[in-house]
Homo-oligomer: A and B are copies of this chain.
Amino acid sequence: MSSKYQALKQECFEANIALNDLGLVIYTFGNVSAVDRNNGVFAIKPSGVPYEKLKPEDIVILDYDNTIIEGEMRPSSDTKTHAYLYKNWEHIGGIAHTHATYSVAWAQAQMDIPVFGTTHADHLTADIPCAEPMRDDLIAGNYEHNTGIQIIDCFNERGLSSEEVEMVLLGNHGPFAWGKDAAKAVYNSKVLETVAQMAYLTLQINPKAPRLKDALIKKHYERKHGKNAYYGQ
């Protein structure tokens, strides 16, 4: 009963469990996927399964057009959003969606998260974008597919790079984050939640808190991600 996607399922399973361990989800909220670019498929959490009951063999395998390749269970209701992002952003290897508290609060406030400090700039130089809620006709249509369009349109309109900015807030909904693999997508979800809480507190303490100056944004981003980066091993 072995599957050629065993390792992919395991990666996806572990990333979903991490989402729960990091306190980013409760019950069946949220979902993580991992892609196998060689085989043109991705693995995703089944819909509505509590994290405590999730097993690696429950993970569903689909292609980028949402055809189930392997798996007995119904995939996450957000699957089409993942598929659309994988199809259009070929560099990403994993995607995570949560309903983490502070991230959702900013999404519900329909506001970008301003870059207030180096914690933020260590990860990206832009404000974290909050995509507008979808038009009614698109909601009534192929909703989860259109959610993917909504995200990519937001990035295109603002001239953002999905290689640098690995996270977005969907207005009134919540965060999506991605990265080179599923673990990085989960990491970005946790960083986003942390930055969201810090920015919230910053504005409570000083409603006129200034945006981080450009020189510091650049310095912190470059020392971790630039050509001459000297962070890490």
Interface residues of A (CB under 8 A from B): 26-29, 46-49, 73-74, 77, 99, 101-102, 104-111, 116-119, 133-134, 136, 139-140, 143, 172-174, 187, 190-191, 194, 197-206, 209-210, 212-213, 215-216, 219, 223-224, 230-233
Contacts and interface: CB of A to CB of B under 8 A. Distances in A.
A159 to B, nearest CB: 24
Identical copies in the complex = 4
Interface centre among A47, A108, A136, A197 (most CB of B within 10 A): A108
Given A47-B230, A118-B173, A143-B219, 16 more contacts: A29-B119, A47-B232, A48-B232, A48-B233, A77-B224, A101-B194, A102-B201, A104-B117, A105-B198, A108-B116, A109-B209, A110-B209, A117-B174, A119-B174, A133-B216, A204-B204
Contacts of A194: 26, 99, 101
A223 B77 contact: yes
Given A107-B117, A201-B101, A143 B73 contact: no
Interface centre among A174, A201, A219, A223 (most CB of B within 10 A): A201
A143 to B, nearest CB: 6
A77 B105 CA distance: 33
A155 B197 CA distance: 29
Contacts of A233: 46-49, 73-74
Contacts of A48: 231-233
A131 to B, nearest CB: 13
Nearest to A106: B205
A184 to B, nearest CB: 11
A136 B191 CA distance: 26
B209 A133 contact: no
What 9 A-B pairs are tightest by C-beta distance, nearest first? A48-B232, A105-B201, A109-B206, A109-B205, A108-B202, A108-B116, A136-B215, A108-B117, A139-B215
Contact of A206 (B102, B110, B117, B143): B110
A199 B205 CA distance: 9
A201 B174 CA distance: 14
Contacts of A140: 215, 219
A117 B73 CA distance: 28
